[in-house]
Chain A
Amino acid sequence: KQEVTQIPAALSVPEGENLVLNCSFTDSAIYNLQWFRQDPGKGLTSLLLIQSSQREQTSGRLNASLDKSSGRSTLYIAASQPGDSATYLCAVKVGYSTLTFGKGTMLLVSP
């Protein structure tokens, strides 16, 4: 059964820092990996999707990498801002349609 783990569970940084969020999964047979942002009491906003054949994807200050063979992905956030404060979720697509989620990393960026 696929398990997704995210480290750290929480992270607090001052504004302007670059940071890395980690995601690991136990079964490398995935179709893709998706990073989401979740604000308190809100839904999930898709940030980046990496196909299983890709190594990385970039969107603005965000860069996600995927090492499928080792079961790892990282989300790099450059020049963090207070507006980046949220919970970041990693999810892998297994089976035909199922997303399996990690528990998330709660990020706080202080001014």
Chain B
Amino acid sequence: EPEVTQTPSHQVTQMGQEVILRCVPISNHLYFYWYRQILGQKVEFLVSFYNNEISEKSEIFDDQFSVERPDGSNFTLKIRSTKLEDSAMYFCASTARGGSGNQPQHFGDGTRLSIL
């Protein structure tokens, strides 16, 4: 079965540095998402992306964050000037259709980001 793949599985970064988390969504999917899960807390929506632009974002997704689809297969989340509170598991997800379409979102295994 097709999978969403994320790299790296674990990223350790010094506070203030920039990180790029990478995702390869399922190949025929059109809608892409980033979520995060701080240890012991709920999974939280960050941003959705369709047709090369952001379609929705949460209040967490401020100017520190950006997303990009640099080519036909990758979807990236960039976090500039990382802070200790950015430490979390970051999940990428994709779906064939968005909006009111009732397609399940398929998640990757996540990248554990540790800020020191």
Report A's interface with B, CB cutoff 8 A. 4, 31-32, 34, 36, 41-46, 49, 51, 89, 91, 95-104
Residues of A within 8 A of B105 (CB): 34, 46, 99
Interface size classification for chain B: 20 to 34
List, sorted by A's number, 25 A–B pairs whose CB atoms are closer than 8 Å: A31-B100, A32-B102, A34-B104, A34-B105, A43-B91, A43-B107, A43-B108, A43-B109, A44-B43, A46-B106, A49-B102, A95-B56, A96-B55, A96-B99, A96-B100, A97-B33, A97-B48, A97-B50, A97-B56, A97-B98, A98-B48, A99-B45, A100-B45, A101-B44, A103-B41
CB-CB contacts of B1-28 with A at 8 A, as 1s and 0s?
Answer: 0001010000000000000000000000
B81 proximal to A (CB < 8 A) = no
Min CB distance, A108 to chain B, in Å?
17
Please count the residue pairs between chain A and chain B whose beta carbons lie under 8 angstroms apart in the complex: 64
Q: Most chain-A CB neighbours within 10 Å: which of B41, B43, B106, B108?
A: B43
Residues of A within 8 A of B44 (CB): 101
Residues of B within 8 A of A89 (CB): 43
Give Cα A79–Cα B43 distance, bound, in whole angstroms: 28
Q: Most chain-B CB neighbours within 10 Å: which of A32, A41, A45, A97?
A: A97
> Majority SS of interface residues in chain A?
strand
Give Cα A103–Cα B41 distance, bound, in whole angstroms: 7
B55 with A97: CB separation less than 8 A: yes
Give the contacts of B48-106 with A (CB-CB under 8 A).
48, 50, 55-56, 58, 91, 93, 98-100, 102-106
CB-CB contacts of B22-47 with A at 8 A, as 1s and 0s?
Answer: 00000000010101000001111100
Min CB distance, B39 to chain A, in Å?
11
Min CB distance, B56 to chain A, in Å?
5
Name B10's closest neighbour in chain A (CB-CB).
Answer: A41
Name A47's closest neighbour in chain B (CB-CB).
Answer: B104
A46 with B104: CB separation less than 8 A: yes
A96 with B107: CB separation less than 8 A: no
Min CB distance, A37 to chain B, in Å?
11
